[in-house]
Amino acid sequence: MTAWTAAALALLAGAGPLCLWGVASGRPVRRLVAMSLLSTVVGAVFLVLPRAYGRSSYQDLALTLAVVSPTGTLVFTRFVAGADPDAPDNGASSGAAEEMAGEGP
């Protein structure tokens, strides 16, 4: 087992389940943050894997993930924070977040 494989294994087995737990529980904003952290961890894994396999062409995965991941985060942010663009700012955002979390009045 080379050091690069061990690094990828540590990233996947250590940070992956933690991010999955964050994605699976909590309020929508917390899920969004855990999702961003998971994409960052996977980007690091995609940068380590070409070193482990000795194929530098696998780095295209990390490049594509770096392009795609902020787009997905923006989509979720638009849905969580801007559920109703016509309403006033603070009441709309907190009301939408609580409504999505299922804890709203």
Least gap, CB of 58 to another protein (angstroms):
5
Distance from the Cα of residue 22 to its chain's centroid: 10
What is the Cβ-side half-sphere exposure of residue 61, based on CA atoms within 13 angstroms? 15
Q: Does 44 bind another protein (CB under 8 A)?
A: no
Interface residue with another protein, options 44, 58, 81, 93 (CB under 8 A): 58
Interface residue with another protein, options 23, 44, 51, 93 (CB under 8 A): 23
- How many other CB atoms sit within 10 Å of the CB of residue 63? 12
Q: How far apart are CA 82 and CA 93, in angstroms?
A: 6
- Answer whether 104's CB lies under 8 Å from 95's CB: yes
Q: Which residues bind another protein (CB under 8 A)?
A: 1-2, 5, 8-9, 12-13, 16-17, 19-20, 23-24, 28, 31-32, 35, 38-39, 42, 45-46, 49, 53, 57-58, 60-61, 64-65, 68-69, 71-72, 75-76, 79, 83-84, 86-87, 91-92, 95, 99-100, 102
